[in-house]
Copies of this chain bind each other. A is one copy, B any other.
Amino acid sequence: MPDHEREMEIVHLLRAATVELGLRSARFASRNGMHPTDVRALIALMDASRSGSEMTAGRLGTLLGLNSAGTTAVVDRLERLGHVRRVRDERDRRRVLVEIDERAVELGQAFFGPLIGRAVELLEGYDERELTAIRGFLTGVRDAAAEASG
């Protein structure tokens, strides 16, 4: 049996980081009268908005691992808080596009901005080869986690 200690330490660090990030977004949620799922939905919407793609209700539900009833409920809650609006897709009128409100984006930036800033700061201390290593590791983990059932 080989000695994987150095590698396992990093695996545990990754897990510890995801746990802390989860707790942080839970705190953001409860401070703003939301639930963790609502925050995850907002993040998915910001991501879509940033990459210029539009988000349908169904796709959002899939990303969150919810069924259709739960998806409707999430969008209802966010709409009630004014963080998103429903827009009928005119190209396929079965679809409902969910658009995030600019003020919700600002709210998120106010809370997560410092954390993101700190991460960027950390990354600025690395050279090109180190950044490539970090990028490669995270990409690999993301893809391995995304792979279907095991």
Contact = CB atoms under 8 A, between A and B. Distances in A.
A122 B145 contact: no
Interface residues of A, number: 56
Contacts of A144: 115, 118-119
How many subunits of this chain does the assembly comprise? 2
Nearest to A47: B12
Interface string A125-144: 01001110111111111101
A81 interface: no
A14 B11 CA distance: 14
Interface stretch (A22-30, A72-80, A82-90, A91-99): A22-30
Nearest to A130: B133
Interface in A42-95: 43, 47, 63, 65
